[in-house]
């Protein structure tokens, strides 16, 4: 496996080679934060026929701010309190879109909680906040409970196997529901823990590693494996339920996005570029779309992965792919409402009249939720000429009327959500590779060094 630093250099070089036909956000590194893995040697590569992937955007389309919308105003909800962030994405469809958090935008405290990312292992998930505690997972899949106000470590639990045969593994994630933690692991384990003590309720072995966090709803745990399979488990017993197998993909980002839930529908995204809506009860396929371009010119552009979590908001699904598509899809019918040629591995953020997304090239883009027309584009790498000096950005989150993103060069940047102007920059002191969360008056950030940083 390529080291993270070497991977960054190789993938930035690939991005620069595409510069002649780039659109805003349509090219960039594959994921400096998460080095791509390669085809599994124990499985034949599956090759899709012409009828199995349908591009919804031509290769040479561009995205630009709409002339009619330049300087136009739009609605952003007022900042409101949100007490917890119990699952990836917070409270799902019931998120406060603009959270009262971090008005001073200064570091309150930082706490090291375990192993940071290195050549062999990576932190792949951000924090979960519930019951006055932050729950985090380090690069070795050790889980820690931290007091969310003081940073004191309450307990730690390791999911590393004791046998030398299974010594290599990393990544996974956490979800909280009804006083329990639900854990997925790159060591091929899913588990339930008591959130108060860390005591194990049940564990279950999986066939493949899991690099993303689970979600939990109505007695079921949902999680995506690195084999492009959506797995489900009974939360009380850990008994496996139905599964859904997406197209097998030879290359992917080393992260699996968490699914999104809305009532009796679960929406999952995969390395194949597929976004699939399924019945939570039995896994029946409701609709399937693919975020893929008609033409791909390099090995880098062949990676179609939807690495950021799909988001369900007011009846629409927002998702972006490494393959260069950012789209809004009707949750009920699966019909595409609009799409933009933006390559991204981050989770979109719908708020009020607009939706924000960060491209791989480092642009923050603000688009109309209704039409997909772009209000503004802010290039956070503007003026940086050398590819090795270009930062990667994660997020965003909307906190106290500021759009906050974090970066691989150790910054938290607050932007004006109406214009994209930079309001304030805060030095975190370490690379940040996962999205921040805003909850209970604070913004919490997990750094690449295995630290939890609280911003007040």
Q: What is the DSSP string of 73-137?
A: ----PPPB----B-BTTBSGGG--SSB-B-SS--EEEEEE-S----SS-------EEETTEEEEE
Q: Write the burial class of residue 158 (CB in 10 Å: 0-12 exposed, 13-18 middle, 19+ buried).
A: middle
Domains and CATH numbers, the chain: 4-39+55-455 (2.130.10.10)
* Per-residue confidence (pLDDT) for residue 57, from 0 to 100: 44
**Residue 304 predicted with pLDDT over 90:** no
Give yes or no for residue 3 having a pLDDT over 80: no
Cα–chain-centroid distance for residue 116? Answer: 18
Q: Are 142 and 114 in contact (CB under 8 A)?
A: yes
In this model, does residue 10 exceed pLDDT 90?
A: no
- Say whether pLDDT at 14 is over 50: no
Q: How much of the chain, in percent, has pLDDT values that exceed 90? A: 75
pLDDT given for residue 219 in this prediction:
96
Per DSSP, the three-state class of 389 is helix
**Mean model confidence pLDDT for the chain:** 86
- Sequential DSSP letters for 254-317: S--PPPEEETTEEEEE-TTSEEEEEETTT--EEEEEE--BS---STGGG-----SPPEEETTEE
Whether 134 and 452 have beta carbons less than 8 Å apart is answered as yes
Whether pLDDT at 401 is above 90: yes
Q: What is the pLDDT of residue 29?
A: 36
296 pLDDT higher than 90: no
Residue linked to tokens 């956000």 = 25
Distance CA 49, CA 26 (A): 25
For the cut 90, the answer to whether the pLDDT of residue 33 exceeds it is no
| pLDDT tens profile 53-69 | 333 444 446 789 999 99
**Average pLDDT of 348-364?**
97
Q: According to the model, what pLDDT value does residue 38 have?
A: 32
Greater model confidence, 15 or 234 = 234
Which pLDDT tens digit goes with each residue over 82-105?
999 999 999 988 889 999 999 999
pLDDT recorded at residue 166:
62
pLDDT band at 162 (very low <50, low <70, confident <90, very high): confident
Q: What is the pLDDT of residues 133-161, one digit of tens each?
A: 999 999 999 999 999 999 999 999 998 88
Average pLDDT over every residue of 248-255: 72
Half-sphere exposure of 2 (CA within 13 A, CB side): 19
Residue 32 has pLDDT above 50, yes or no: no
> Is the pLDDT at 23 greater than 70, yes or no?
no
Would the CA dihedral through 133, 181, 262, 311 be positive or negative?
positive
Strands in 323-371 per DSSP E = 326-330, 336-340, 349-351, 354-358, 363-368
Helix (H, G, I), strand (E, B) or coil at 68: helix
- The pLDDT tens digits for 169-201 are 888 999 999 999 999 999 999 999 999 999 999
Cis, bond preceding 324 (omega within 30 deg of 0): no
Report the distance separating Cα 267 and Cα 278, nearest Å: 6
Q: Is the pLDDT of residue 447 over 90?
A: yes
Instruction: Please tell me the pTM assigned to this model.
Output: 0.87
Q: Write out the E strands in 178-284.
A: 180-185, 189-194, 200-205, 215-217, 220-224, 229-234, 240-245, 260-262, 265-269, 274-279
Residue 433 has pLDDT above 80, yes or no: yes
* pLDDT at site 144: 98
Reduced DSSP (H G I as helix, E B as strand, rest coil) percent helix, strand, coil of the chain, to 5: 5, 40, 55
Q: Identify the three-state secondary structure at position 335.
A: coil
Structural tokens at position 210: 């899991």
Which of 33-42, 71-80, 270-279, 401-410 shows the lowest mean pLDDT across its residues? Answer: 33-42
Mean pLDDT of 25-45: 35
d(CA 429, CA 67): 39
pLDDT of 28 > 50? The answer is no
Which contacts (CB < 8 Å, 24+ apart) does range 157-163 have?
157/193, 157/198, 157/200, 159/183, 159/185, 159/187, 159/189, 159/191, 160/187, 161/187
- Helix, coil or strand: residue 417: coil
pLDDT tens readout for residues 308-334: 999 999 999 999 999 899 999 999 999
Q: How far is CA 387 from CA 15, 302, 416, in A?
A: 9, 20, 26
- Greater pLDDT, 28 or 156: 156
């Amino acid at each position: 496996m390529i080291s993270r630093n070497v991977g960054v250099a190789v993938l930035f070089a690939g991005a620069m080679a595409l510069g002649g036909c780039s659109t805003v956000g349509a090219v960039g590194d594959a994921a400096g934060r998460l080095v791509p893995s390669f085809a599994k040697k124990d499985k034949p590569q599956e090759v899709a026929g012409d009828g199995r992937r349908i591009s919804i955007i031509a290769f040479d389309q561009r995205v630009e701010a709409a002339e009619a919308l330049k300087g136009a105003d739009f609605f952003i909800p007022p900042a409101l309190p949100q007490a917890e962030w119990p699952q990836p994405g917070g409270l799902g469809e019931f998120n406060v879109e603009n959270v009262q958090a971090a008005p001073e935008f200064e570091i309150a405290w930082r706490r090291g909680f375990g192993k940071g990312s290195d050549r062999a292992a990576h932190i792949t998930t951000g924090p979960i906040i519930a019951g006055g505690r932050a729950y985090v997972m380090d690069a070795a899949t050790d889980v820690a409970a931290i007091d969310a106000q003081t940073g004191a470590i309450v307990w730690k639990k390791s999911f590393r196997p004791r046998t030398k045969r299974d010594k290599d593994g990393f990544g996974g994630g956490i979800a909280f529901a009804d006083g329990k933690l639900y854990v997925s692991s790159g060591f091929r384990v899913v588990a339930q823990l008591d959130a108060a003590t860390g005591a194990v309720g049940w564990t279950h072995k999986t066939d493949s590693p899991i690099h993303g966090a689970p979600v939990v709803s109505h007695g079921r745990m949902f999680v995506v494996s690195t084999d492009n399979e959506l797995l489900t488990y009974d939360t009380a017993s850990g008994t496996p339920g139905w599964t859904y197998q997406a197209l097998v993909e030879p290359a992917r980002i080393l992260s699996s996005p968490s699914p999104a839930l809305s009532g009796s529908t679960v929406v999952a995204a995969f390395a194949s570029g597929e976004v699939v809506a399924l019945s939570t009860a039995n896994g029946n396929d409701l609709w399937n779309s693919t975020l893929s371009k008609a033409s791909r010119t390099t090995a880098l552009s062949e990676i179609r992965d939807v690495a950021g979590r799909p988001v369900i908001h007011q009846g629409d699904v927002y998702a972006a792919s490494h393959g260069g598509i950012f789209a809004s899809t009707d949750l009920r019918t699966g019909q595409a409402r609009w799409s933009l040629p933006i390559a991204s591995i981050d989770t979109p953020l719908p708020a009020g009249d607009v939706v924000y997304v960060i491209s791989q090239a480092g642009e923050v883009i603000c688009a109309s939720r209704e039409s997909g027309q772009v209000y503004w584009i802010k290039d956070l790498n503007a003026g940086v000429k050398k590819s090795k000096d270009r930062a990667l950005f994660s997020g965003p989150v909307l906190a106290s009327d500021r759009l906050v993103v974090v970066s691989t060069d150790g910054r938290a940047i607050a932007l004006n959500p109406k214009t994209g102007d930079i309001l304030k920059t805060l030095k975190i002191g370490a690379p940040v590779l996962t999205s921040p969360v805003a909850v209970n008056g604070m913004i919490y950030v997990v750094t690449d060094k295995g630290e939890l940083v609280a911003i007040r």
